[in-house]
Structure 1
Amino acid sequence: MLKKIVFPLFIVVTLVSCQKEIDWNLPPGGGTGGGSTNGDLLVQALEITPATNDTNTITFQWDANKKLTLYKSSGKVNGINTQIVHTINRLSDGKIKNIISKSSATAGAIDSVVYTFYYTGAQVSYVIDTQYTLVGQLRDSISFLYNAQGKVSQKDSYLDFFGTSSHSLRERYQYDASGNLTTDSVFIPDGLGGFDLGSVATSTYTTHKNAVVLGEESYVVLGASN
């Protein structure tokens, strides 16, 4: 479910004395790093951008089933005080119903962005985001395909400008036998109805345990398409 997906955010969480992993997909199974915790749930973390010396405090809230319900970033972006809040509303079975996103950086032009999720079975098939702007509502969307293991294999992004829709981006993902993402291929429109390969990012892994595990839901909450 990625497109401009769902939030143009990447989080670099500083992990201190991390001995257990933080799992963003399932209810967290334990962790001692990254700010403060409430039991085994991360409730606060620190985001640092060395190049600009920006520092943000990331706050998390969870429901009784250990599902994320609020993500708030307060700090500086390029030296400007910025607050970003994502409120995550869920269905009775725990799946995400919608996410309401607000940012002080765009408050003058965009009041909020609402991401609404549509499912086929247990998997998200597509997401529609509605941007509430000064000039009216703008809608974009993202659709997803999955491999046999249930992991996202392809993401297609569509832009809509007052009724005119265009297929703006395609990404394909490959994984190793352990389920780790190994290849992220980005395709861009060729102007003729097809796509050209724009870039390929590859990842390799050691036997060390990851400090942060990004599951399917992280694509929605963290914005894996950045």
Structure 2
Amino acid sequence: MSVTIKSAREIELMREAGRILAKVHEELEKAIHPGMSTLDIDRLGEKLIREFGCVPSFKNYNGYPASICVSVNDEVVHGIPNKHHIIKEGDIVSLDAGVIYKGYHSDAARTHAVGTISPEAQKLIDVTRQSFFEGIKFAKAGNHLNDISSAIQAYAESFGYGVVRDLVGHGIGSHLHEEPEVPNFAQKRKGIKLVPGMTLAVEPMINIGTPNVAWMDDDWTVVTKDHSLSAHYENTILITEGEPEILSL
């Protein structure tokens, strides 16, 4: 599959998918509290997505059993919600979700504090979020994909953090995952040239410790190898003639 350039109509549908997903994330952030199970978060997320007239992008995607990926503390991504995992004061919880609106996807992730968290955890969340914004400063027509990747890595590593190598962002549109891959770390090649109408899911995954990760026995949940905390921040963006448009904020 080559990189797809979206038409004005497709962009409009993706804007709406992004707008709805942003609302879902806002509602989930308000709802998170100690004592909830990760399954409670997933059920609420799916209910919201369907109430907005959308379909969850992740449900049954390649066999993934839930609508919201809920990853806690040292879980990097793709945590499977369950009723036994109760979130508690001091945890950090990464929520990754996508919605399909009239055949078009949006994809976004946020890491939230549960109650009062350590200053170290808060800094990780803040730096991970900012690394996304540092990256998309370069998400302009005429630049190359690697400009985004290099900026994310440089910013996160300036704090001594580990940038996950085993997982990357991606193109997005009528499919959840399209070309190109969008790494959060510099490549040897410049990568594709950015042109207006490209839609990308840019998603830094940053660990307090080393970049190394491992997959759990469920074949989905990715954890930090050194059990350090991990944060995730993602939005669906549109390349324009000027500044990028963030569709999922």
Q: How does the TM-score come out when normalised to structure 1?
A: 0.29
Q: How does the TM-score come out when normalised to structure 2?
A: 0.27
Pick the structure with more helix per residue.
Answer: 2
| Bigger Rg, which one | 1
Pick the structure with more strand per residue.
Answer: 1
